[in-house]
């Protein structure tokens, strides 16, 4: 492609122009759509947006490549703010157990759950871990994800946690996607620390986290604050150690029970609290006051078969900015933010407009990137997707179909089904 590209005649140009922060309440429905829209991309950034007629008058120069998006939606690249994309192995055998009514704890007792993946990941070489994870990331890119968060947490020892984070860094270097690394060594208590969670917490805070910081391997630190994992005091110990080392904070909060995770996220000034199937009223109100973003992961209760979906409607109405993520992991093998948006509408009762906001600018804000990506505005990075629908409202309706026809990252086409175009070879 040429240095300057114009996407023109979009049925809807979904710009999401507005404040460079997360959006809450009614703001989540304000998409700032331009009909018959056009966007100009130059040198990896967005140069201009507007109606096609006026854009073509202002940018009628030789060397400009024009892409006709007639009948299609042009919108910001999707941002996935919560994944466990780096792991080895699989756990498909758990589906039969779920169908038989087995609980999460019973599946763990049968050799499944997090610790099964810990064993597979510990056994994998760094190259094996890279190859398996890269395949999943390529699929995510093809479904429109241009920025992805990736957590460690399947090592649960220093060497493998560092291996996972180094793999995350390599994936970001070799694939055309931005990857935001999150350290999550406090994901579960490993077998060697069975019955000694406080000892493991000290190990993570005093030994593993400093090693992560020395190599600058993580932007954020996350903790599974949940009954059966880590209580608020244990979680606070890890998160405060991470904060002292310059990391931003995230919390796996209140997934199975009201465990104080939402309150802890607000107390410590975390950028986000994630899952939130069973937060307390006090926790939700505290998040709203502190502008903590609630990251909804509807794929998780969907695959849990009987899991509780978060009450996204209540959070939005109270004033918590809501984002969406896939929670890609061996138990929730979801590589599509499009499918996540569908679940958000059908299961969380979010509107299509709210789902778009939650999958773009609010997800960007959950990674601290709202000033760079998540909207189509002058000066923002040219992360753009074309969807083969006439309206954004059709995206959640056509679940089970990859609607993307083109994915652009930093001004380069990295995946496409558009005739006459070729993606960057690494994809």
Q: CA Rg, the chain, in Å?
A: 21
* Per-residue pLDDT at 295: 98
Helix axes 261-268, 281-290, angle to 10 degrees: 20
Asked if residue 58 has pLDDT above 50, the reply is yes
Share of the chain above pLDDT 90, in %: 91
Q: Which of 69, 150, 74, 85 is nearest to 117 (CA)?
A: 85
Rounded Cα gap, residues 362 and 360, in angstroms? 6
Residue 343: strand, helix, or coil: helix
DSSP 27-41: GGG---EEEEEEEEE
**Region of residue 391 (left: phi > 0; alpha: psi -120 to 50; beta: else):** beta
* Per-residue pLDDT at 426: 56
Asked if residue 2 has pLDDT above 60, the reply is no
When mean pLDDT is compared across 95-104, 119-128, 188-197, 360-369, the lowest value belongs to 95-104
Domains of the chain: 4-76+374-416 (2.30.40.10), 79-365 (3.20.20.140)
* Per-residue pLDDT at 108: 79
Average pLDDT, stretch 383-391?
98
Residue 198: strand, helix, or coil: helix
Rounded Cα gap, residues 396 and 78, in angstroms? 14
Rounded Cα gap, residues 351 and 397, in angstroms? 11
Asked if residue 228 has pLDDT above 90, the reply is no
Q: Which residues contact 419 (CB under 8 A, 6 or more apart)?
A: none
Confidence class for position 67, pLDDT limits 50, 70, 90: very high
Confidence class for position 18, pLDDT limits 50, 70, 90: very high
**Region of residue 419 (left: phi > 0; alpha: psi -120 to 50; beta: else):** beta
Which helix or strand (DSSP H or E) is residue 385 part of?
Answer: strand 384-387
pLDDT digits (tens, 9 = 90+) for 109-143: 788 899 999 999 999 999 999 999 999 999 999 99
Confidence class for position 419, pLDDT limits 50, 70, 90: confident
Higher pLDDT, 227 or 50: 50
* Per-residue pLDDT at 109: 78
* Per-residue pLDDT at 257: 92
Matching residue, tokens 């994915």: 407
Asked if residue 214 has pLDDT above 50, the reply is yes
pLDDT digits (tens, 9 = 90+) for 331-351: 999 999 999 999 999 999 999
Matching residue, tokens 């070489």: 125
When mean pLDDT is compared across 44-48, 213-217, 307-311, the lowest value belongs to 307-311
Predicted model pTM: 0.97
* Per-residue pLDDT at 1: 44
Rounded Cα gap, residues 295 and 70, in angstroms? 33
Residue 106: strand, helix, or coil: helix
DSSP conformational letter for 245: T
Higher pLDDT, 49 or 105: 49
- Two tokens at 386? 């074309």
Residue 196 bridge partners (DSSP): none
Q: Which residues contact 75 (CB under 8 A, 6 or more apart)?
A: 12, 13, 14, 16, 356, 360, 376, 384, 385, 387, 392
pLDDT digits (tens, 9 = 90+) for 164-198: 999 999 999 999 999 999 999 999 999 999 999 99
pLDDT digits (tens, 9 = 90+) for 261-282: 999 999 999 999 999 999 999 9
64-68 and 73-76 as β-strands: parallel, antiparallel, unpaired? unpaired
Asked if residue 294 has pLDDT above 70, the reply is yes
Is the CB of residue 347 less than 8 Å from the CB of residue 381?
A: no
């Amino acid at each position: 492609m040429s240095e300057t590209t114009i996407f023109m005649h979009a049925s809807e140009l979904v710009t999401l122009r507005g404040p460079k922060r997360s959006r809450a309440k009614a703001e989540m429905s304000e998409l700032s759509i331009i009909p018959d829209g056009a966007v100009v991309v130059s040198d990896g950034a967005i140069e201009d947006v507007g109606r096609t007629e006026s854009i073509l008058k202002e940018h009628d120069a030789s060397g400009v490549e024009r892409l006709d998006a007639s009948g299609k939606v042009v919108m910001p690249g999707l941002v996935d703010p919560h994944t466990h994309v780096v792991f080895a192995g699989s756990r498909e055998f758990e589906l039969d157990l779920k169908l038989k009514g087995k609980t999460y704890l019973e599946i763990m007792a049968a050799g499944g759950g997090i610790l099964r993946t810990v064993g597979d990941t510990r056994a994998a070489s760094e190259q094996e871990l890279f190859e398996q994870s890269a395949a999943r990331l390529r699929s995510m890119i093809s479904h429109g994800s241009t920025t992805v968060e990736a957590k460690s947490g399947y090592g649960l020892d220093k060497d493998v946690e560092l291996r996972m984070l180094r793999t995350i860094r390599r994936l970001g270097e070799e694939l055309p996607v931005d990857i935001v690394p999150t350290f999550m060594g406090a994901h579960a208590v490993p077998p060697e620390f069975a019955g000694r969670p406080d000892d493991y917490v000290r190990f993570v805070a005093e030994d593993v986290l400093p090693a992560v910081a020395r190599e600058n391997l993580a932007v954020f630190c996350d903790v599974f604050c949940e009954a059966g994992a880590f209580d608020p005091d244990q979680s606070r110990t890890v998160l405060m150690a991470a904060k002292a080392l310059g990391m931003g904070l995230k919390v796996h909060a209140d997934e199975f029970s009201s465990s104080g995770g939402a309150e802890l996220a607000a107390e410590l000034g975390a950028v986000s609290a994630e899952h939130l199937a069973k937060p307390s009223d006090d926790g939700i109100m505290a998040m709203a006051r502190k502008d903590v973003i609630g990251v909804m992961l509807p794929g998780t209760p969907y695959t849990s078969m009987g899991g509780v979906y978060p009450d996204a409607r209540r959070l939005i109405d109270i004033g918590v900015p809501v984002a969406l993520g896939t929670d890609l992991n061996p138990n929730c093998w979801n590589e599509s933010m499009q499918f996540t948006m569908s679940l958000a509408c059908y299961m969380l009762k979010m509107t299509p407009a709210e789902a778009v906001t939650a999958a773009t600018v609010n997800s960007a804000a959950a990674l601290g990137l709202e000033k760079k990506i998540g909207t189509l505005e002058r000066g923002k990075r040219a992360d753009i997707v074309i969807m083969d629908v006439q309206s954004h409202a059709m995206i959640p309706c056509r679940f089970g179909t990859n609607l993307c026809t083109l994915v652009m990252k930093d001004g380069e086409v990295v995946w496409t089904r558009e005739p006459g175009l070729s993606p960057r070879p690494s994809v």
